[in-house]
Amino acid sequence: MAKDQTVLFHSTVFGPIKSRRLGVSLGINLSPDDGKVCSFDCLYCEAGYNSQGKGTTGLPVREKVRRDLESKLSAMKGAGDPLDVITFSGNGEPTLNPDFPEIIDDVIALRDKYYPNAKVSVLTNSTRIFSPAVADALKKVDNNILKLDSAIEPTMRLIDQPTSKEFTVERVVEGLRQFAGEGIIQTMMLRGEHDGKPVDNTTPEEVDALIEAYRKIAPREIMLYSLDRSTPEEHLVKVERQELEGIARRIESATGIPVQVN
């Protein structure tokens, strides 16, 4: 059984909010402000399932994003508000917006103007890294945070439910190698059940497969995290911090890559 619960950001620029991973974060939503556009349909997505629809407002264009962000940054700067990071997140996959590469350039320029010490981060599900323009844009930001929830094909397809059959673990791991030493790999750890099928990417077999993938990708850092908010699939269980830390120690020991637990 799945919940219809949905959390949506009803604007292009939202926050700032206190992020458990990134600090004081100002969000940028490149999806519609009344619907969801994503190339995954994750069991755990706080924005709900794709079946809710894409809304009616459409994807925000480059000029709207630039205008809305400058207005917000100017107001925050004038009020003396702190800012640690500008984060591309929101109601879906940001790299699906056709203006994504140009928007990245605008955001970096505005960051440099108003908060030069703030970072620019992108949370992406990695489905668009095969586009040279998207990959080049991701390489410009401080933190390109790239998703890999499982390195075993059936588990990945069960948890993330990619909308394209062409998206495979083998292909994405190979694609992620272009970010070696730069990218941050983010892995959601969880267990539970979906449509009568067990869901668990914390088993020794799963962790072994992730370790092999992390070695191939060679990111600068790995982020492990678990459930923190309501999910569309209600039969999911949070992995507690102590267990996450144990998995992190195993990964660090096997790969030599720093692992952050959130």
Give the pLDDT band of residue 1 (cuts 50, 70, 90). very low
Decide if 144 is inside a domain. Answer: yes
CATH of the domain at 157: 3.20.20.70
- Which is more confident, 61 or 53? 61
Task: Look up the domain containing 157 and give its range.
Answer: 13-261
pTM of this structure: 0.94
Dist CA 41 CA 149 (whole Å): 13
Decide if 8 is inside a domain. Answer: no
pLDDT score, position 141: 98
Decide if 3 is inside a domain. Answer: no
Amino acid code (one letter) for 226: S
- Number of domains present in the structure of the chain: 1
Say if CB 89 and CB 29 are below 8 A apart.
yes
Dist CA 42 CA 52 (whole Å): 13
Identify the CA nearest to 140 among candidates 121, 124, 123.
121
pLDDT score, position 9: 85
Identify the CA nearest to 239 among candidates 254, 252, 228.
228
pLDDT tens digits for range 157-206: 999 999 999 999 999 999 999 999 999 999 999 999 999 999 999 999 99
- Alpha-carbon separation of residue 133 from 97, 114, 125, 130 (angstroms): 12, 26, 16, 9
Residue 199's DSSP bridge partners are 192
pLDDT tens digits for range 99-110: 999 999 999 999
